[in-house]
């Protein structure tokens, strides 16, 4: 039979059932193979010895996307489905065979224990890493005459053990019991006849499910075997009935934990269950129960066998009171020298006294292993066989050595990842918990002008200092974002952002790292201010943890190999802000006229100009008048002016600590230029006005004087300080005015937190000023709308009026109190 998908096969008494990867059950009749003679081989060399029967999708009898496991019992089909938060066991009638197979009606249903769903890829269904295991247990003589439980993966338990495990109700009903091993380690059971009865007389669903044990790891196998010795009559009786009455129930976990349950008598002579837990080498990939009390289990490195039969382990002299019929205290696995077995099964066709194993390797190789109960005596080994044996041993040693090196490398990688994660957690906690005081890791940004051959460039220097006890190693990156504002000539244009990433390699305690970045001007000579420089530390989880999650040996855990990176959170790392600096016009101003008399002022290079303009100016001679838009504007147009008035009392309160004994106007100028490199000269000369040069070469004049504001307070004039900005460039004047307003806002917020009360004001005068400003704002909007519709000739007068209104708005009659 040919399928387009990988399948899991289960043979019933009348049909074959297949579970395919699309989570549905298909059925088909059993077609015996025909024998092929030599004549057939000569005539049909290219034909297969067995006919290939394609299975049509219509053969699907139970389409269910949540189906995870199933088993067949006589005329019933038991399926286990995965719900959103619970496992659900469903019981169906046997599907009808024929040209149009139809699913049988549902007989019963019960919900098992809850589980926590796995976190997978959004938008894709999440399959469990381990599938549940189903196994059927029944009483001797309770099955149909031709129903063999071993053919469907079931077992027959002795009556004493059956009653102890599943209770009196299942024993009296002679009901088969379905054992279910869940991925979370639970081992529970459901009596089928009680489940059928519950449909006609519904009761508590929890009463139908009985939890036997919890392995605390995924269950990969459930089985039963015979451990007590049998007489010849009992062996002949079992051979004739094809039933083995097992006296021990076993369950194996993925990591090697093994549970064995057997019926025994206590000191009072009462029948009690005897539970024994063992720890076998793991991880266990598959297992099978064989004759003589043996369990065959496979790990990625070997196929082993353990013996639970009586007499397999000699009695311990230190435990003379141990019952000879009890389970052995320990298990000693014996290697069969077969590795990478994914599925193993005990063949029922082996000769008497021998065991035949059918095993499927990880490379898709089907192997048959014959085991004899008595190994033959030593024979004389030939040189050829000795050479072959030595080569096999050396090859095995090489494979083991290679795997050990892989595992050691994986352990070292995970240890380094855990160490790095621990350091990242410590750094994150230290930075997030010390926002007010000094921080263990800081980044200080300063600005300065650098003199280059063609033009002067404003640079930002970021100094990363590690003052704590931590070390920044692999995975840490210093991210510096430079965000420029939109151009003053194009308000609709969005600001541009450039992010620089600098790997931080082994920044130990007490170390520092310095990075210098250019801020502007650009090649066109434009520096759009303000510029925001933000510094942050970024820790990459994918760089540090991604490689450590993937196992070096795919057989160790196939689920981790496929979904290693899916275990990481959605974000790729952790971002820790360090500092933020706004570079405005006041910080970028240069004052060549304030140079010390003993120090020659550096020559300020203008921004790069067009070569043609430079050539034409050189041809005109030195006596020619200056040309260019900036020179013409400075010569024929009055400078753009903006002012702001601040209460003298407010400034004295804010500046008294840092500028005590200094005239108020000079202290105000020093406060405004506190972040400028020329502040020391301003302090030394006690200046109250200064003329500086903007980055594009335009002059900017700062004038600070004391004034009296009348008509605002009924008690008399208010002493105030007027800060005036003059520049021939409207854009540069606006940038300087914006920088001053930003500093004033911060000062007002700080003083407002101290609950200082303003003086009494004339509210009618304030309302009149506010109404005048509202009218000016409405006129600005009307003028801007008119500029969009007028032609070039008519727009000159409109633009001139708009500039006059802006001038009035920039010089209000209000004062900051």
The stretch 268-291 carries a mean pLDDT of 90
Q: Which of 646, 682, 691, 692 is nearest to 662 (CA)?
A: 682
Q: Is the confidence at residue 148, as pLDDT, over 50?
A: no
Distance CA 242, CA 239 (A): 5
CA angle 44, 46, 50 (to 5 degrees): 80
The stretch 627-631 carries a mean pLDDT of 53
Q: Is the confidence at residue 118, as pLDDT, over 80?
A: no
Compute, in degrees rounded to 10, the torsion defined by CA atoms 717, 718, 720, 726: -50
Strands (E), 266-307: 271-279, 286-289, 294-298, 303-307
Q: Is the confidence at residue 788, as pLDDT, over 60?
A: yes
pLDDT category of residue 199 using cuts at 50, 70 and 90? low
Strands (E), 208-267: 209-214, 219-225, 245-246, 248-253, 257-265
| 556-587 residue pLDDT tens | 544 444 444 454 555 678 899 999 999 999 99
Q: Is the confidence at residue 630, as pLDDT, over 90?
A: no
* Run of H or E including 529: none
The pLDDT score that the predictor gives to residue 619 is: 62
* Run of H or E including 241: helix 232-241
| 653-711 residue pLDDT tens | 888 877 777 889 999 999 999 988 888 888 888 888 999 998 888 899 999 999 988 87
The stretch 265-283 carries a mean pLDDT of 89
Cis peptide before 530 (omega within 30 of 0): yes
Asked if residue 415 lies in contact with residue 423, where contact means CB atoms within 8 angstroms, the answer is no
The pLDDT score that the predictor gives to residue 236 is: 58
The stretch 296-305 carries a mean pLDDT of 91
Q: Helix count (H) and strand count (E) of the chain? A: 16, 36
707 strand-pairing partners = 720
Asked if residue 25 lies in contact with residue 60, where contact means CB atoms within 8 angstroms, the answer is yes
| 316-370 residue pLDDT tens | 555 555 566 688 888 888 888 888 898 899 887 777 778 889 998 888 888 888 8
The stretch 597-623 carries a mean pLDDT of 54
The pLDDT score that the predictor gives to residue 187 is: 94
The pLDDT score that the predictor gives to residue 192 is: 86
Q: Cα–chain-centroid distance for residue 208? A: 40
- List the single range of 33-42, 190-199, 548-557, 690-699 with lowest mean pLDDT: 33-42
Asked if residue 558 lies in contact with residue 646, where contact means CB atoms within 8 angstroms, the answer is no
CB neighbour list of residue 362: distance below 8 Å, 6 or more residues apart: 340, 341, 342, 555
CA angle 227, 249, 268 (to 5 degrees): 75
The stretch 758-782 carries a mean pLDDT of 84
Q: Which of 601, 804, 599, 600 is nearest to 693 (CA)?
A: 601
CB environment 392-401: b (16+ within 10 A), e (fewer): eeeeeeeeee
The pLDDT score that the predictor gives to residue 115 is: 74
| Tokens found for residue 69 | 């496991």
pLDDT above 70: percentage of residues in the chain: 72
Q: Which of 231, 273, 271, 219 is nearest to 249 (CA)?
A: 273
| Tokens found for residue 642 | 């903006």
The mean predicted confidence, pLDDT, of the chain is 78
- List the single range of 257-271, 607-621, 647-661 with lowest mean pLDDT: 607-621
The pLDDT score that the predictor gives to residue 789 is: 84
Residue 294 class from Cβ within 10 Å (0-12 exposed, 13-18 middle, 19+ buried)?
buried
pLDDT category of residue 39 using cuts at 50, 70 and 90? very low
CB neighbour list of residue 18: distance below 8 Å, 6 or more residues apart: 3, 7, 8, 9, 10, 25, 26, 27, 28, 55
SS3 329: coil
The pLDDT score that the predictor gives to residue 607 is: 54
Q: Is the confidence at residue 423, as pLDDT, over 90?
A: no
Model pTM?
Answer: 0.53
CB neighbour list of residue 294: distance below 8 Å, 6 or more residues apart: 225, 305, 306, 307, 308, 309, 355
| 427-444 residue pLDDT tens | 888 888 876 778 889 999
The stretch 9-25 carries a mean pLDDT of 46
| Tokens found for residue 148 | 């063999």
Q: Is the confidence at residue 252, as pLDDT, over 90?
A: yes
């Amino acid at each position: 039979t040919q399928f387009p998908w990988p399948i899991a096969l289960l043979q019933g008494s009348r049909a074959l059932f297949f579970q395919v990867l699309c989570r549905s059950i298909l059925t088909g009749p059993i077609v015996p193979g025909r024998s092929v003679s030599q004549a057939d081989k000569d005539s049909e060399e290219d034909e297969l010895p067995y006919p290939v029967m394609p299975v049509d999708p219509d053969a699907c009898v139970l389409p269910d996307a949540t189906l995870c496991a199933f088993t067949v019992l006589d005329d019933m089909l038991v399926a286990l489905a995965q719900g959103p938060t619970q496992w659900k066991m469903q019981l169906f009638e046997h599907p009808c065979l024929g040209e149009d197979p139809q699913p049988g009606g549902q007989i019963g249903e019960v919900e098992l224990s809850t589980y926590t769903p796995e976190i997978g890829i959004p938008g894709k269904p999440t399959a469990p890493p381990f599938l549940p295991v189903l196994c059927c247990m029944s009483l001797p003589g309770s099955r149909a005459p031709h129903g063999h439980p071993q053919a469907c993966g079931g077992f027959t338990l002795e009556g004493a053990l059956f009653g102890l495990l599943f209770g009196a109700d299942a024993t009296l009903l002679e009901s088969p019991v379905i054992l279910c091993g869940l991925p979370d380690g639970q081992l529970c059971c459901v009596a089928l006849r009680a489940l059928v009865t519950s449909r006609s007389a519904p009761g508590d669903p929890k009463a139908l499910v009985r939890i036997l044990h919890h392995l605390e790891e995924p269950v990969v196998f459930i089985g039963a075997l015979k451990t007590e010795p049998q007489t010849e009559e009992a062996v002949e009786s079992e051979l004739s009935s094809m039933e083995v009455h097992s006296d021990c129930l076993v369950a194996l976990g993925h990591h090697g934990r093994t549970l064995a349950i057997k019926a025994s008598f206590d000191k009072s002579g009462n029948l009690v269950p005897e539970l024994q837990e063992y720890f076998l080498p793991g991880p266990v990939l598959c297992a099978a129960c064989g004759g003589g009390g043996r369990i065959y289990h496979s790990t990625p490195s070997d196929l082993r066998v353990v013996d639970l039969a009586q007499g397999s382990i000699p009695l311990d002299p230190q435990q003379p009171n141990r019952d000879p019929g009890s389970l052995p205290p320990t298990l000693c696995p014996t290697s069969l020298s077969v590795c990478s077995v994914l599925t193993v099964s005990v063949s029922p066709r082996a000769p008497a006294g021998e065991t035949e194993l059918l095993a499927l390797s990880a490379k898709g190789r089907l192997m048959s292993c014959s085991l004899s109960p008595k190994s033959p005596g030593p024979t004389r080994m030939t040189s050829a066989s000795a050479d072959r044996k030595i080569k096999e041993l050396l090859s095995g040693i090489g494979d083991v050595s290679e795997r050990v090196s892989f595992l050691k490398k994986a352990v070292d990688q995970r240890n380094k990842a855990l160490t790095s994660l621990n350091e990242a957690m410590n750094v994150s906690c230290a930075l997030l918990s010390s926002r007010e005081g000094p921080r263990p890791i800081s980044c200080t940004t300063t600005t300065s002008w650098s003199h280059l051959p063609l033009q002067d460039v404003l640079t930002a220097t970021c100094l990363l200092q590690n003052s704590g006890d931590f070390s920044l190693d692999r995975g840490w990156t210093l991210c510096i974002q430079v965000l420029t504002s939109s151009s003053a000539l194009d308000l609709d244009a969005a600001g541009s952002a450039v992010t620089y990433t600098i790997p931080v390699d082994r920044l130990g305690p007490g170390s520092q790292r310095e990075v210098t970045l250019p801020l502007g001007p650009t090649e066109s000579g434009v520096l759009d201010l303000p510029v925001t420089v933000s510094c942050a530390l970024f820790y990459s989880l994918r760089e540090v943890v991604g490689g450590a999650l993937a196992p070096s040996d795919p057989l160790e855990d196939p689920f981790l190999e496929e979904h290693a990176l899916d275990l990481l959170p959605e974000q790729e790392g952790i971002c820790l802000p360090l500092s933020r600096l706004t570079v405005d016009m006041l910080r970028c101003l240069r004052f060549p006229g304030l140079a010390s008399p003993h120090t020659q002022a550096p020559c300020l290079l203008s921004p790069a100009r067009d070569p043609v303009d430079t050539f034409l100016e050189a041809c005109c001679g030195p006596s020619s008048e200056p040309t260019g838009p900036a020179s013409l504007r400075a010569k024929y147009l009055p400078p753009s002016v903006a002012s702001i008035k601040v209460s003298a009392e407010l400034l004295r309160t804010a500046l008294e600590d840092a500028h005590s004994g200094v005239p108020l106007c000079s202290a105000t100028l020093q406060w405004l230029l506190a972040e400028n490199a020329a502040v020391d000269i301003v302090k030394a000369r006690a200046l109250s006005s200064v003329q500086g040069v903007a980055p594009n070469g335009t002059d900017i004049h700062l004038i600070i004087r004391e004034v009296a504001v009348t008509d605002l307070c009924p008690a008399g004039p208010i002493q105030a300080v007027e800060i005036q900005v003059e520049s021939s460039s409207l854009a540069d004047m606006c940038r300087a005015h914006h920088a001053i307003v930003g500093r004033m806002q911060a000062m007002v917020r700080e003083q407002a937190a101290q609950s200082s009360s303003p003086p009494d004001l004339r509210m009618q005068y304030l309302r009149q000023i506010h109404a005048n400003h509202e009218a000016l704002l409405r006129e600005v909007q009307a003028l801007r709308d008119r500029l969009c519709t007028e032609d070039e000739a008519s727009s000159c007068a409109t633009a001139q009026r708009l500039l006059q209104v802006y001038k009035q708005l920039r010089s209000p009659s209000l004062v900051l109190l």
